[in-house]
């Protein structure tokens, strides 16, 4: 028990980065991610690291670019409007193959929007966001503990693939206080980055760049990137499946929405409805295969998002019409209530099932784990 700390998601993300060996953080204030930056300002001097409050989100991402190019573990964070500003830099990071962790504590948009929880940056996060044919690994936690764990993992993934990794949270996760345990060993040793710019003492020089002006070179480089992304798609898919084995309807949700969906399953269980949940943890790479497999077993999907419907497109592309994909979302800072989701489920059920089954008929009591 004594190892548990009560922290906001924002603070937990910052602390996890430090545990993962991140010693360089650059940020710019924006609600609702300020606690992350404040924690870094306090902690970095304690661990001999660097904290700079940059003049803009743009400067922050390029300071991160510099430290990544220099071979360090580095992080920046912001919330939706600030992440939009960072997109150019993220494209450059991807194009220069630099490892960097970016935390987006999403808020309502478009424009200045509001400071309420949102998942409306999904497209921006998983489809590129900046210019060019690139991908950012995107991890979506649904609790403060998982936020900490995924930030820790994000640094290893970023280094392994020399690629930016985004941890996609929301105002709810960032502001929420939950117990968190930092059980992973604090990292101090990392494999040497031979490509980094450190001063070319006794070796041929290194160049960090994304510019390929000679005809054909850029295409070749892009094809190489695509091969790398394919490898990531094969190896780094993460998801959680709950209660799907006996289900007729599978909910699909990530982050905060996934927790609301678990509440829905808990509420629906006594009614005898067989509802499952597939929770993507990696949004890119997306658990396409898992959804495809699930589409062979369930009769319908219901995607729940805090957006007007973004991830639902990827679900539809994965399911490829094998069964209907329904959607329920709240947008502009609205958070779906478990009651509303349950109502939506009850609306869909008559279209796929003869109605609630008796517990005995199901053979097994509905299980929520």
Partner 1 sequence: MTEKVILVGYGGQGMMLFGRLLAQAAMLDGKQVTFFPSYGTEVRGGTACYHLIVSTEEIYSPVVEEADTLIAMNQPAYLKSRDYLRPNSLLLLNSSMVRREDNYNGIEVYEIPATEIANELGNVVASNMVMMGAYNYIKKLISIPLFLNCLKQTLRGKKAALYEINKLALERGEEYLKNAYLLKAPTI
Partner 2 sequence: MEVLYSPPETLIRTSTHYCPGCGHGIVQRLIAEIIDEWGIRGKTIGLAPVGCAVLAYNYLDIDMSEAAHGRPPAVATGIKRVHPDKLVFSYQGDGDLAAIGLAETIHAANRGENITVIFTNNAVYGMTNGQMAPTTLLGQRTLTSPEGRSSSAHGYPLRICELLATVEGSSYLERVSITSPENINKAKEAIKKGFKTQMEKRGFSLIEILCPCPVYWRMGAVESMRFIDEEMTRTYPLGVFKDWEKIAT
Chain positions contacting partner 2, by CB under 8 A: 24, 26, 50, 52, 54-56, 58-60, 62-72, 74, 88-89, 92, 96, 197-202, 205-211, 213
Q: How far is CA 84 from the centre of its chain?
A: 16
The listed partner (partner 2, partner 1, none) that binds 58, CB under 5 to 8 Å by sort, is: partner 2
Closest CA to 258 of 201, 186, 320, 341: 341
Cα 157 from Cα 75, distance rounded (Å): 13
Closest CA to 36 of 26, 47, 46, 50: 26
Residues of this chain that interact with partner 1 (CB under 8 A) are 1, 4, 6, 115-116, 172, 175-179, 256, 259-260, 262-263, 266, 335, 337-339
Cα 355 from Cα 139, distance rounded (Å): 36
Q: How far is CA 73 from the centre of its chain?
A: 19
Nearer to partner 2, 88 or 313 (CB): 88
Cα 270 from Cα 359, distance rounded (Å): 9
Q: How far is the CB of 265 from partner 1 (least distance, A)?
A: 8
Residues across the chain:
369
Nearer to partner 1, 111 or 204 (CB): 111
Contact 67, 138 (CB under 8 A): no
Q: How far is the CB of 171 from partner 1 (least distance, A)?
A: 9
Q: How far is the CB of 178 from partner 1 (least distance, A)?
A: 5
Cα 125 from Cα 143, distance rounded (Å): 19
Cα 110 from Cα 81, distance rounded (Å): 8
Strands 4-8 and 282-284: unpaired
Nearer to partner 2, 216 or 321 (CB): 216
The listed partner (partner 2, partner 1, none) that binds 56, CB under 5 to 8 Å by sort, is: partner 2
Backbone torsions φ then ψ of 282, nearest 5 degrees: -95, 120
The listed partner (partner 1, partner 2, none) that binds 266, CB under 5 to 8 Å by sort, is: partner 1
Nearer to partner 2, 84 or 295 (CB): 84
Nearer to partner 2, 92 or 284 (CB): 92
Token pair belonging to 217: 């070179």
Cα 251 from Cα 261, distance rounded (Å): 7
Nearer to partner 2, 32 or 130 (CB): 130
The listed partner (partner 2, partner 1, none) that binds 259, CB under 5 to 8 Å by sort, is: partner 1
Q: How far is the CB of 4 from partner 1 (least distance, A)?
A: 6
Closest CA to 24 of 74, 99, 69: 74
The listed partner (partner 2, partner 1, none) that binds 65, CB under 5 to 8 Å by sort, is: partner 2
Nearer to partner 2, 50 or 293 (CB): 50
Q: How far is the CB of 219 from partner 1 (least distance, A)?
A: 47
The listed partner (partner 2, partner 1, none) that binds 262, CB under 5 to 8 Å by sort, is: partner 1
Q: How far is the CB of 28 from partner 2 (least distance, A)?
A: 11
Which is it for the CA torsion 102, 104, 110, 111, positive or negative? negative
Q: How far is the CB of 93 from partner 1 (least distance, A)?
A: 32
């Amino acid at each position: 028990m004594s190892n548990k700390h009560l922290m906001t998601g924002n603070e937990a993300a910052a602390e996890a980065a430090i545990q993962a060996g991140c010693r360089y953080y650059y940020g710019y204030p924006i609600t609702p991610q300020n606690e992350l930056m404040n924690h870094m300002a306090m902690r970095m001097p304690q661990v001999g690291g660097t904290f700079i409050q940059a003049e803009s989100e743009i400067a922050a991402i390029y300071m991160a670019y510099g430290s990544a190019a220099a071979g360090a573990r580095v992080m920046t964070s912001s919330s939706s409007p600030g992440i939009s500003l960072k997109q150019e830099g993220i494209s450059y990071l991807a194009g220069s193959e630099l490892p960097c962790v970016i935390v987006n504590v999403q808020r309502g948009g478009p424009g200045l929007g509001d400071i309420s929880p949102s998942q409306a940056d999904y497209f921006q996060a998983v489809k590129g966001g900046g210019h060019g044919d690139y991908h950012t690994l995107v991890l979506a936690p649904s609790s403060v503990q998982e936020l900490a764990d995924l930030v820790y993992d994000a640094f290893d993934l970023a280094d392994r693939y020399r690629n930016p990794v985004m941890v996609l949270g929301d105002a709810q996760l960032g502001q929420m206080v939950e117990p968190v345990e930092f059980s992973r060993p604090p990292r101090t040793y990392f494999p040497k980055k031979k490509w980094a710019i450190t001063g070319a003492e006794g070796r041929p020089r290194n160049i960090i760049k994304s510019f390929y002006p000679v005809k054909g070179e850029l295409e070749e480089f892009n094809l190489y990137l695509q091969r790398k992304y394919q490898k990531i798609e094969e190896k780094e898919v993460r998801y959680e499946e709950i209660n799907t084995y006996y289900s007729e309807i599978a909910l699909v949700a990530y982050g905060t929405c996934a927790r609301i969906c678990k509440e829905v399953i808990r509420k629906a269980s006594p009614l005898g409805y067989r509802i499952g949940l597939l929770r993507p943890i990696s949004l890119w790479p997306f658990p396409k295969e898992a959804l495809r497999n699930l589409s062979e077993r369930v009769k319908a999907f219901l995607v729940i998002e805090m957006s007007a419907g973004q991830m639902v497109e990827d679900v539809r592309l994965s399911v490829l019409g094998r069964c209907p994909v329904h959607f329920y979302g709240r947008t502009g800072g609205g958070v779906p209530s478990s009651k509303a989701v349950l109502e939506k489920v009850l609306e869909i059920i008559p279209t796929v099932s003869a109605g609630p089954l008796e517990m005995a008929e199901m053979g097994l009591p509905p299980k929520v784990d």
